[in-house]
A and B are shown apart, each in its own frame.
Chain A
C-alpha cells in the first residue's frame, strides 16, 4: 500500500473522471463521484503525512519504474517535505472547491477539475524531468479550457494569453531538459532524466548557466515574477472561481516549487549568477504589485496583484537561501494558499450574489450579512499577515531571514507587509462598511454549506498562526539538510 500510494494520489482523480466520462453519468452522480475521489485523496494524503518521517533525508515513498527505456525516461515519483506541504494543500483544497462547485450544472467543470488535480499532484510528485514536464504542461490544459469556456470578460483572449505565455516558458525549459538528458548520455553513456542524476553532471558553468535560464524562465512566468506577469491580471480576472483558486493557491506555488526543487536541486552551483536578478525582481515586484493592488477597483484583480506580491515575497525567501527564509517561504506557501483560497472563494460568492466584483458597487455588507463580513475580514487580514494568522509567522520568518542577509533587504521586505495592510484595510472599509448599496441591500448571509467550506480554512489559518510548532517539525529537519547540501554544492559557508 505505502509503496504505491503516490501513484494512487496522482491518478485517482483521473480514473474517476475517465470512468464517469465513459458512462456519461448525471451531474448529481458526477459531483458525488468527484467529492468521493477528492476525499479519498485527502485521506490517503493524511495517511502519507502520518507515515512520513521528517528526520529521514531524501525522498520517501519512492516509486521508480522504467517508462521509455530507450531514453532512460522513468516513472519516478517521491515525496519530501517540500512536496508534502504542497500535496497537503492540494488535497485539502480540492474537497473545498468541490463544495463550492456543488450546484454547478455544467458537467465540464467537474471533469476539468478532476484532471487538474491529477496534473498538479503529478507535477508536485514527479522527480523525472520528462515526467515533470508532462504534468507541468498537462495541468495547463484544464485551466485553459476553464478560463476560455466558463470564464468572463474577454475570457477567450485571456485564455489564449495564459496558454501562450506559459508554453513559452515551458518550451524553454524543455530545451534545457533535453540538453541535460543528452549531457548525461554524453558523460555517463546512458540516458537519464532523474533529477538527482542531473545535479551530479559535471557541466561547465557557462552551459549550466544557460540551461538554468531555461528553467528559470518557465518558473518566473508561472510565479509570476515582475516582468513576466502580464498574463496574470487578465487571467485572474477572467477565470471562474474554482480555476482562480487553483491558479493562485496552487499553480503559482508550483512555480516556486520548481525554482526550489529544480533550480536549487540541479543548478545549485550556478544559481548565484542569477541571484542579484532574482532578488531585484522579487523585491521590486513586491512593491510594484502591492501598489497595483491598491489602485484596483476589481476585487479579483486586486487580489491577483496581492497574490503576485506575496509570491514575490516567497520567491525572495527562496533566493535568500538561509534557514529562516526557507522555512518562512515554505510556511507561506501553505498559509498563503489557504488564505488566498478563502478570499477568492468569498469573492466568488460576492460575484454569485451581486453579479459584480467591482468595489465601487459594493458596500455595507457588514450590516446585512455579518457572518459573511466576519469571514471576509478574517481572510483578508490573513492575506495581510495580521498577527495570529499563519501568514504572520511565515512573513516574520522571511523578514528575519532577509535581515540576516542584508538589512536593506529586510527593510524592503517589511515595507510590503505595510503596503498589504494598507490596501486590505482600505478595501475592507469600502466593501464591508458604510451604508448598503443597491447591489448589496439584499446580500444573503453565508449558508450552512458555505460555512462548512470556509471554516476548515479559517481554523487551519488560526492554528498555524498560534501554534507554528505544530507544523514546523514536519519540514524543518529536511529544509536544514537541503540547505546544507545546497551550500556545499554552491561552495559557500554557512
Chain B
C-alpha cells in the first residue's frame, strides 16, 4: 500500500491545493497575493515531492484494485509532471505583477489553474483512453474558464466561446476513436491495446487506422496544427496574458505527452496508415504557422503563430517515430523543454511589460527598448534567438535533434522544409531584436528603467540563463544537467515506456 502512496502524493497535493483555494475564495477580504503564494506553495511542494521519484526503473500501476490499469506511474509521466508543476509555478510567479495590476483576478482563478494542472498530470499518467479523455476534458474545462476570465473584455469572451465550442466538438472525436478501438479490441487500456495491435494489427488495419486518426484529430486540434488551427490566434489574443502563456507553454507540453503515448503505442510497431498523414499535417502546420506568424504586428499574435510552427517541428519528429527513428521521441521531449523555456521567457517579458499597457503590444512598442530596459531587452533577445534556433541557445539543439531525427527516418524533404521554415522564422524573431536594438534613445522619448528586482524579473533572468546553459552546457560538469544531461533524461523517460 505505501508503495503506491508516494507516487500519488504530488497529484493529490495539487487537487487539495485547488480545493483549499476554492474554500479561501469564499472569504472576499483575502488579498490576491495570498492566493498566489498558496497556489505556488502547493505546486512547489508537489514538485519537491515528485523530483526524487524520477529515475526509478520500473513503472507501476497505482491502486490497481481501484483504478485498474488506468493510472500508470513511470519516468515518462514523472518527467512530464515535473514540467507541469514547474511550468505552473513559473507561469504564476512570472505573471505576479500582471495579475496584481488587474482587479478581476481572484481566488477562483488560481483554483481553476490548479484544476487544470491536476488534469494535465493525470493526462500524463493515463494508461487508458477513457482516463485520458477525462483528464483532457478536466484540463480543457479549466482552461476554457480561464480564457474568459476577463469578463468585461469582449475579446476574452469571444475567445472563450470559440475555444469552448470548437474544443468540445473536437473532443468528441477522441471518444469516437476510443469507441472504435473498444469495439475491435475490447479494451481501452493502452498497454493491452499495444499487445492486441502487435498480435492482430494486420487483420483490423483499416479500423485501427481510422481510430488512430480520430484520436489524433483531437490532439492535433488542441495543439493547433493546421488545418485545425483556426481558433488559435483569436484565443491566444483574447485570453488574459497568464493564460496565453500557460496555453502556449505548459498545455502544449501536456498535449504532446498524450500524443506521444498514444502515438508510440498505436503506430510504433505496426504498418498503420497515419504516419503519412502526420507528415502532411506537419508540412501544413509549418507553412501555415509561418504565414500566420509572418503577417502579424501584435506580438501576442506573432507568438501565437510561432507556437503553431513549433508544434509543426514536433510533428516532424512525431511522424519520424513511426518510420524507425530511434532518436525522435527523446528529441520531442527535448524540444518541448527547449520551447517551454524560451516561450516562458518571451511571454514572461511581454506580460511584465504589458502589465501597465491598455492595448496589445506591437512591434513598434519595442522601439528603443534596449535603451529603456537594457536587461529585459537582452533577455528578450535571448528568448528570440532560442525560438529562432540560433546556435548557442537551447532552441538550436532542440531543432538539431528534431531535424536529425527526420533525416534518420529518411524524410529528407521534411527536414529540409523544417530548416527552411526556421529560416523564415528568423525574420519575425529578429524583427523584434532589431526593433529593440536599432532605434536610438532620441527617437523614442522613453525614460530609462533600471532593473527592478522582483520575483518576475528574477525568474525571467533565470530562464534566459537556462536558455544559454541548455545550449552550451557541457557534459563535463556531471552534477548539473547541461545540453548533454537533458537529452539523457529525455531518453531515460522514453525508455520507461512499455
Contact with A along B181-204 (1 / 0, CB 8 A): 000000000000000000000000
- Which residues of chain B have C-beta atoms less than 8 A from A134's C-beta? 391-392, 396
Q: Which of B226-234, B399-407, B452-460 contacts A (4 or more CB under 8 A)?
A: B399-407
Q: Please state if B391 and A148 are interface contacts (CB–CB under 8 Å).
A: no
CB-CB under 8 A for A137 and B390, given A70-B484, A174-B419 = yes
Cβ 8 A contact of A163, one of B391, B403, B426: B426
A168 at the interface (CB under 8 A from B): yes
A65 at the interface (CB under 8 A from B): yes
Cβ 8 A contact of A178, one of B400, B423, B437, B475: B400
Main secondary structure of the interface of B (DSSP, over half): helix
CB-CB under 8 A for A67 and B437, given A171-B419, A171-B422 = no
A: number of interface residues (CB 8 Å): 35
Q: Give, as a whole number of angstroms, the nearest-CB distance from B3 to chain A.
A: 32
- Which residues of chain B have C-beta atoms less than 8 A from A133's C-beta? 391
Q: Please state if A159 and B434 are interface contacts (CB–CB under 8 Å).
A: yes
Contact with B along A61-95 (1 / 0, CB 8 A): 00001111111000100000000000000000000
User: Residue of A at shortest CB range from B399?
Assistant: A174
Q: Please state if A156 and B438 are interface contacts (CB–CB under 8 Å).
A: yes
Contact with A along B395-417 (1 / 0, CB 8 A): 01100110110011000100110
B427 at the interface (CB under 8 A from A): yes
Q: Please state if B407 and A179 are interface contacts (CB–CB under 8 Å).
A: yes
Give the size range of B's interface with the partner: 35 or more
A149 at the interface (CB under 8 A from B): yes
B483 at the interface (CB under 8 A from A): yes
B66 at the interface (CB under 8 A from A): no
The complex places the Cα of A133 from the Cα of B487 at a distance, in Å, of 20
Main secondary structure of the interface of A (DSSP, over half): helix
A104 at the interface (CB under 8 A from B): no
Q: Please state if B430 and A145 are interface contacts (CB–CB under 8 Å).
A: no
Q: Please state if B474 and A178 are interface contacts (CB–CB under 8 Å).
A: no
The complex places the Cα of A187 from the Cα of B416 at a distance, in Å, of 22
B421-461 contacts to A, CB under 8 A, are 422-423, 426-427, 430-431, 434, 437-438, 440
B357 at the interface (CB under 8 A from A): no
A403 at the interface (CB under 8 A from B): no
User: Residue of A at shortest CB range from B427?
Assistant: A164
Q: Please state if B474 and A75 are interface contacts (CB–CB under 8 Å).
A: yes
B67 at the interface (CB under 8 A from A): no
Q: Give, as a whole number of angstroms, the nearest-CB distance from A274 to chain B.
A: 20
- Which residues of chain B have C-beta atoms less than 8 A from A138's C-beta? 391-392
A-B contact count (CB 8 A): 86
Q: Give, as a whole number of angstroms, the nearest-CB distance from A79 to chain B.
A: 22
Q: Please state if A66 and B437 are interface contacts (CB–CB under 8 Å).
A: no
Q: Please state if A168 and B423 are interface contacts (CB–CB under 8 Å).
A: yes
Cβ 8 A contact of A167, one of B396, B426, B483, B488: B426
Q: Give, as a whole number of angstroms, the nearest-CB distance from B480 to chain A.
A: 15
- Which residues of chain B have C-beta atoms less than 8 A from A145's C-beta? 437
- Which residues of chain B have C-beta atoms less than 8 A from A70's C-beta? 484, 487-488, 491
Cβ 8 A contact of B437, one of A130, A137, A148: A148
B37 at the interface (CB under 8 A from A): no
Residue from A65, A137, A155 having most chain B Cβ neighbours under 10 A:
A137
The complex places the Cα of A155 from the Cα of B439 at a distance, in Å, of 11
Q: Please state if B484 and A178 are interface contacts (CB–CB under 8 Å).
A: no
Contact with B along A134-165 (1 / 0, CB 8 A): 10011001001100110000011001100110
Q: Give, as a whole number of angstroms, the nearest-CB distance from A381 to chain B.
A: 37
B104 at the interface (CB under 8 A from A): no
The complex places the Cα of A148 from the Cα of B420 at a distance, in Å, of 24
Q: Please state if A68 and B487 are interface contacts (CB–CB under 8 Å).
A: yes
Q: A148-B438, A155-B438, A179-B412 are in contact. List 4 more A-B contacts (CB 8 A).
A: A137-B391, A160-B431, A174-B403, A175-B416
7 sampled A-B residue pairs with Cβ under 8 A = A66-B474, A134-B396, A138-B391, A156-B438, A160-B427, A160-B431, A182-B407
The 8 closest A-B pairs by CB, nearest first: A134-B391, A148-B438, A137-B391, A68-B484, A182-B407, A70-B487, A156-B438, A171-B423
